[in-house]
Amino acid sequence: MSSIPAAQLTSLPTYASVTNTRLKSLYSDFTYQKHSNPTSYASNVEWWRNTLEAALLRGWLSESSTASSPSDKLVLHAYGVAFADRFRVEGVGKPLSIPTVVFELCSSKALIPLSDFLSASRSIYDPGWLPYRIASFVVGKPLWWALGQLGIVESNGAVFGDSGTTERWKKVRGDYVAVSLLESAAERILERQRLKSTGHVADTLYNVDGFRAEFSECAFEGATLSGTDIKVLLKFLERDKGVIIVRGEVIKFVDEGTSQASEVSAVDTGILALKTSVEKLQVQVDNVQHRIDQLTQQTSNALRQKRKEIAMTHLRARKQFEEVLKKRLSSLELLRTTLIRVETSAGDVEIMKAYESSTATLREVLAHPLLQREKIDETMDAMAAANADAREVQDAIQLGAELAQADTGVDDADIEAELEALAKEVEDDKAHARDQQLGAPELRPPTHVPAQEEALTTSEREIVPVAL
């Protein structure tokens, strides 16, 4: 494998964001920092995870790729020191901790060995997935041997970091599924399927070639999935997401989580065969039409060059292709009509199943003892009696309240008269306050003359000296 050009490496977001000093640290053997500096260790592993995924997605980690055989975008092929050489940087060297990174990413299930991923019957999201693997190794074997097979310890009991780079590569070399990229690709495929689906049964059915043609270029912008990627995606969508059923060459999309309850029926297989035939025939029609257009252009060119015989030859060929096109269009129309009728009939079957299920459910509900005529009449009579009892209780409470109010001996008319007098007094006080604010003379009530003073005789008043 040749090194990735420096211009390509520096174009990655991870490289653009680090200094040369930081890059040297990332390229050093930081395996022993796991216990001495766990924060830096975790940061380095995460940086390399992002770098490896970005390079993998761009197809830089494959030896070669062509339009017919694109590079893997979801499977990382980590095969020893030559793999690390791909990331060699002038003045920095090659990274020494790639096997440590692969080991850590496997431990966190960011990377999963390809063979384990394809053969596992349990979901990768099952918490017991890794312990299950360990247990399967342990049966009949010592524990240290099982852990050694998983790359956790060496066969002699030494931990992973105790060995050199070459020995570490021997433990982790292999093919790995990049889970983060896989999840992203699956979400884009499901979104495309939701957008293109029109509710017809045929929209949910694909063969492997049809699935690849429909989804291989939509998973990642500017990237095409390989055959291995498609195989990994189908396994993930079926086992881990539960959104498809794969039976042989038939791939059927179902509602999430219902794949175990659904099956690929003979009707599904027949509809897929019709759909595939329509698609193939449409391709033939397009090709024939393209050939007719070419012959028309060639005829015109020959006439302009005054090559009559050549023009006649092109015209005869075009007539033949036009006859073929007419037959193909007739067959295409017939197949499309048949497909529509089969889909409609299949939909009618589902509708009738829903009707049948609804009818059975309704009858079961109506058969409940509480919905029998006698029970309904009994319940309604009891409800009427309870309402009558409630009204009697309410009337008794109201009567008792009226009697209690009468026993207090308070006349409502007296209370109202007193309330009016108080209100009038308040109004008089307000008027008096307004008069004072306007400067009106204060009117005082006449002073009360005591009865003793009124009893004074005239002669007593006369002896009071008069002031001159």
Percent of the chain with pLDDT over 70: 81
Query: Full-prediction pTM beyond 0.75?
Result: no
* 74-125 pLDDT per residue, tens: 999 998 888 888 999 988 899 999 999 999 999 999 999 999 999 998 899 8
Contacts of 339 (CB under 8 A, 6+ apart): 202, 271, 274, 275, 278
User: How would residue 196 be classed by pLDDT, with cut points 50, 70 and 90?
Assistant: confident
User: How would residue 407 be classed by pLDDT, with cut points 50, 70 and 90?
Assistant: low
Given this model, what pLDDT does residue 261 score? 52
Given this model, what pLDDT does residue 161 score? 55
Which single residue is written with the structure tokens 């959104």?
Answer: 243
Query: 166 or 182: which carries more pLDDT confidence?
Result: 182
User: How would residue 162 be classed by pLDDT, with cut points 50, 70 and 90?
Assistant: low
Supply the DSSP symbol for 4. Answer: P
Q: Which of 218-227, 320-329, 441-450 has the lowest mean pLDDT?
A: 441-450
Given this model, what pLDDT does residue 114 score? 94
Percent of the chain with pLDDT over 90: 44
> How many Å apart are CA 53 and CA 59, to the nearest integer?
10
Query: 76 or 464: which carries more pLDDT confidence?
Result: 76
Given this model, what pLDDT does residue 461 score? 47
* 308-325 pLDDT per residue, tens: 999 999 999 999 999 999
Determine the average pLDDT of the residues in 126-145: 50
* 352-391 pLDDT per residue, tens: 888 888 998 988 888 888 888 888 988 999 999 999 999 9
CB neighbour burial string for 23-61, b if at least 16 within 10 angstroms, e if fewer: bebbbeebbebbeeeeeebebbbebbbebbbbbbbbbbb
Q: Is residue 126 pLDDT above 70, yes or no?
A: yes
Determine the average pLDDT of the residues in 139-144: 43
Determine the average pLDDT of the residues in 409-415: 67
Mean pLDDT of the chain: 82
Contact at 8 Å (CB) between 285 and 324? no
* 256-302 pLDDT per residue, tens: 655 555 788 888 899 999 999 999 999 999 999 999 999 999 999 99
Element holding 401 (H helix, E strand): helix 373-407
Determine the average pLDDT of the residues in 55-74: 79
Contact at 8 Å (CB) between 318 and 299? yes
